[in-house]
Chains A and B, each alone.
Chain A
Amino acid sequence: MNAAANAQSTGYNFAYLDEQTKRMIRRAILKAIAIPGYQVPFASREMPMPYGWGTGGVQVTAAIIGPDDVLKVIDQGSDDTTNAVSIRKFFAKTAGVETTTETKRATIIQTRHRIPERELTAKQTIVFQVPIPEPLRFLEPRETETRKLHALADYGLMHVKLYEDIARHGHIATTYDYPVEVAGRYVMNPSPTPKFDNPKMDMSPALQLFGAGREKRIYAVPPFTKVRSLDFEDHPFKVQTFDTPCALCGVENVYLDEVVLDDRGGRMFVCSDSDFCEERRAEGHRGELSGEEPAFLKTAPAVEGEAT
């Protein structure tokens, strides 16, 4: 569907936002790419979904998406989470673009809380929905102060916080929202992805854009940019590990979700990235429970772009 036909059928401009607004957001995105990890203020609009539910990511996606793009939206790693479904429908309706659940087919991936397991390519852009863009926010609540700290590259507070973790627990007790340093300069919040995903940001061939609607900030990690998780020489950064492989596809070394099976302590661990898991099962991989998977985990054939 071309843009004009789309405007006629929905009453809204292509991808909802008017062109002036898109231009304003693109300028913020360009600035963000030029200063990796720096939070660029932008005139975030009120969107037809609530603040805190992905309005920043939606605005970034709306500003960069074109009619030929193929969009994937995930929440918690899955395409079928209710809010991911809702955002995907929003773009299917307002932009008429093709949507997909397959990571490898997508040109734009909007995400909340995860980075897909499959390595992204230079032809892809990943858009993160960010609730609190400021990595120092819970150490210093004032924006006026944190902007100064960033300007001076004064990240002592953060190092003290990590050190105190070690002093108290013997290790750093931050499991998601784990702060990173981008291109050797700005300390950045990776959005609340689990720290498991931090290494995927480092030297990624894909453009990584971050949108925080309520807080009115956009930031970016350009392709092939150094992203280092903060740590100490004697306490190097470590990602989470899981004791068991995925119960459905048998894969190891990916991020798993714990699914409660009964009220007697029964648990299974399955891939958080649902597309990755499906693809492996289609290739014939089997986990220990895939023979007798619960009905609610059975995959229905994905029907996309037919929302009315």
Chain B
Amino acid sequence: MYVAVKGGEGAIDNAHALLAHERRGPTHIADLAPEQIESQLALAVDRVMAEGSLYDPALAALAIKQSRGDLIEAIFLVRAFRTTLPRFGASQPLDTSAMAIERRISATFKDLPGGQVLGPTFDYTHRLIDFMLAAGVAPPPPVEAPAETEPTPRVTDLLDGEGLIEAETATGNEDVGDLTRTPLDFPANRDLRLQALARGDEGFLLALGYSTQRGYGRTHPFVGEIRFGEVEAEFVPEELGFAVPLGPVAVTECQMVNQFHGSAEVPPQFTRGYGLVFGQSERKAMSMSLVDRALRTREFGEDVVAPAQDEEFVLSHCDNVQATGFVEHLKLPHYVDFQAELGLVRQMRTEYFARQEELKEAAE
């Protein structure tokens, strides 16, 4: 019994010792080094960094090892670590046009300044299990090309030049909200919405983004551009007064371009949906940009008719650490409440059968 009997403490310790044993697995197989996870399961590491909202590949890899590959558990570990770190302030906005591009594609233009760069992608691979991997065959060396040194302008900047897409200008309000430091309030501004989405569960956002494509809040999206690579993060320390580099972060950025018919105040133009995540995750960045655009429904005077457009619904449920905690808390004992319900159901059943009996007697 796991319930409120004596001995809970010993049982917990024993359970955790067993967990450590199971995590190690059979000892004739080599122990998995976090460095192997970091380099060879890099996309899992990226997801843990993105949803753990902490850029630290080594720590994320260790968390994946500790969680036995349960990524939401690993995200939770990273979040719980993150919360103990001091917060110095907000970085300068990332300049993604200065990104060291590893991959960059646009679905809206055949060719464009900077070109289309496929980079490391699963796209166009045939999804056939590769048994050579099990055999440990080394892959052939990749083809090399000189690195692009010119900045690569974003597709949205090209459209912006013609006024075809809504302008996105700084509000002048330098203070960016931080949803880890202040409770989220509705309606939330876009900075907080994007923060929530960037930390949000990939699967949840994927499903919501998908739902908009199937007509639950359609936004007519085009992938203006997806790019992945390293960008320099910069920070202005108060005592210096100028920006100093903190180091490079690898990010995936997605700019979704959406049709908009215009309104009384605004001429017809394209609107934006934005996605930015740590590491390489196009699925997450694209889903995020679909949901971002859907959440801007009210801003464009459109009706909120679908779940993806409903800010309170999306933001309250997109965090998988919150969601998994509350779903899994049902494992905790609830027998005090259940006792109360047992008593009630017994009472209602007694009343029900008494009524049946009365009816029967009346009929006779």
Contact = CB atoms under 8 A, between A and B. Distances in A.
B335 A53 contact: no
Nearest to A53: B329
Contacts of A196: 340
A170 interface: yes
B334 interface: yes
Nearest to A243: B343
B75 to A, nearest CB: 10
B358 interface: no
A264 to B, nearest CB: 18
Contact of A46 (B316, B321, B339, B348): B321
A297 B79 CA distance: 39
Residue among A47, A51, A196 with the highest chain B CB neighbour number at 10 A: A51
Given A41-B183, A216-B183, A77 B336 contact: yes
A286 B241 CA distance: 75
B342 interface: yes
Contact of B324 (A50, A112, A258): A50
A47 B324 CA distance: 14
A200 interface: no
A175 B3 contact: no
A244 interface: no
Interface residues of A, number: 60
Contacts of B11: 82
A76 B4 contact: yes
Interface in B1-49: 1-9, 11-12
A194 B5 contact: no
B184 interface: yes
B324 A43 contact: no
A52 B329 contact: yes
A5 interface: no
Interface stretch (B80-88, B102-110, B269-277): B80-88
A143 B186 contact: yes
24 contacts: A18-B86, A41-B185, A42-B183, A46-B83, A51-B322, A75-B333, A76-B4, A80-B5, A80-B6, A80-B8, A81-B4, A82-B332, A83-B332, A113-B336, A114-B336, A169-B348, A169-B351, A173-B348, A175-B344, A176-B336, A176-B337, A194-B336, A240-B343, A296-B1
Closest 5 CB pairs of A and B: A51-B325, A52-B329, A78-B4, A50-B325, A175-B340
Given A12-B84, A216-B184, A258-B339, 20 more contacts: A41-B183, A44-B183, A47-B80, A47-B83, A50-B76, A50-B328, A51-B326, A80-B8, A80-B9, A81-B333, A82-B333, A85-B9, A86-B12, A113-B334, A142-B312, A144-B186, A176-B336, A194-B337, A257-B335, A257-B336
